[in-house]
Structure 1
Amino acid sequence: MQLNNNVTEFILLGLTQDPLRKKIVFVIFLLFCLGTLLGNLLIIVTIKTSQALHSPMYFFLFYLSLSDTCFSTCIAPRMIVYALLSKATISFSECIIQVFSLHFFGSLEIFILILMAVDRYVAICKPLQYKTIMSHQVCGMLLVVAWVGSCVHSLTQIFLTFCLPFCGPNVIDHYFCDLQPLLKLACSDTYVVNLFLVSNSGAICTVSFVILICSYTIILHSLRNHSAEGRRKAVSTCISHIIVVILFSGPCIFIYTRPATTFPMDKIISVFYTIGTPLLNPMIYTLRNTEVKYAMKKLWRKRLFLDDLR
């Protein structure tokens, strides 16, 4: 279907066209990108090397950090480079790859957050059956289901993109390729495609958000029968997860659950879930988790000890 298109590349306007502001964007988002990579890779290495962090919660946290890293790197590096260019272009095929990557790792993050909520529910509400229900085999199977679901969702986005005929113009008023801004460039009626977009991406964001909030509400309500120390630890963990859910799902719901109209604030709101959340996740999970902080300190001391031996 690409052969029916006259457009072979798109021009991305980015966050701003002002030269001074583009330099500011370059510096800020370079720091954000480095912080995201450093924070998430630190969590990945810590969980992988620590013997104390092999429970299902950290199994899912490992893949959440991995998803965050991939999700951020499919957008942020190109955005940083574009801030240095007077004219930022992306080929049609690269645009398709970015749409796939964005939705694959974005939906994977949502599914992993749901699995983490399931893990917390079982751990708090059914502690005696926890090891049986959340075995390594079950966790692995749940993760495979999340990967398959993300792939199906992303392929749907690609199919919808190929259904759009592009005959010009080719200027995307955004800093990355996504189906919403592409709908504005299609030279055909996009009502049906937008309906599929809302029923696909919009439904995933909204339904997942409702499921997660309901799950944590049930979990917090069940804590009334626990000891003060157990309640404090569980509340701290749940609050961390709820913060992540709101920061990621809120902007996604705003973007993907409405008709094909764009607002001036869309690009800024997109920054929250494409750049902000992958940066904040490591800080939220490390600052509020004593086990992760202890494992990181242990890893750091071990590293220093090895350096001293050399």
Structure 2
Amino acid sequence: MRALILLGLVGFAAQLVDGSLGMAYGVTSTTLLLAIGTNPAAASATVHLAEIGTTLASGISHWRFNNIDWKVVAKIGIPGAIGAFAGATFLSGLSTEVAAPVMSIILLVLGLYVLIRFTAFGLPRGNLGKPLRKRFLAPLGLVGGFVDATGGGGWGPVGTPAILASGRLAPRKVIGSIDASEFLVAIAASVGFFFGIGSENIDFAWVAVLLIGGVIAAPIAAWLVRHIPPRILGSAVGGVIILTNVRTLLRSDWIDASGSIQAIAYITIAVIWAAAIAYSVREYRRDRDNETVEAIEAEERRRAAEQETAGSVGTIG
């Protein structure tokens, strides 16, 4: 029972992050399942089955808050589903001894990307309004879907930063569209895993509690997407993913590191992680203060212009 409650809380937290940031539900949930010894293919299958419900709930919630561009959903979601089915089939054919380190490496790379991207750059803005073309979104969807299925997560970390970097879609629209299109990816990946490993290796109680936690968090996350600082959240989530998957790799047969080496690695990661979060907080506050100053200066210029116009009219009269 304690394990189920923990998984429910993980599902809630992961969806809260995913719905606010456009990534990390699958990566966070799969990382935990791997850490407690779940078969890699079964872990990814469990998460993707839960994501069918969480992404549907998230998509509906983002739709209600007008956070979705449906053209983007169609252009990236269908190729993403194809890539996810292929990735699920590929992962199902790997042995556990090979799959666990491979998945951890994928998750580690995604974690590094999330940490660096959001710590150093935050959410990029610019070139808003320009169309996102199919020749950009289709390959992105194929790669994102494949990585998502093989890594147990990755649709958001691949798709969200790439579209944000284009600067052509408002951040809340990017996050909402990625979350909505992930519904197609989750279905395709689940079908692929059923073909590859069947259902006997999947604990449907785990699927249920992950789903319940995620569904509860989905509407909260859709509302928070306009208020929560993504830069800070990205740094925090990236650190969790890195730390957990380094632990898996150091304990795997590929490395089999000693206890002292593991301790040094964990302390080093923790220090870097804390520094990244502190830097993100500082940069977020600085950007917020700059925006406040700019808004005040703009308001003062507007009032000065109005007074000048009123004075000119009075002189003429």
TM-score greater than 0.5 by the shorter chain:
no
The higher-RCO structure (CA 8 Å, 6+ apart) is 2
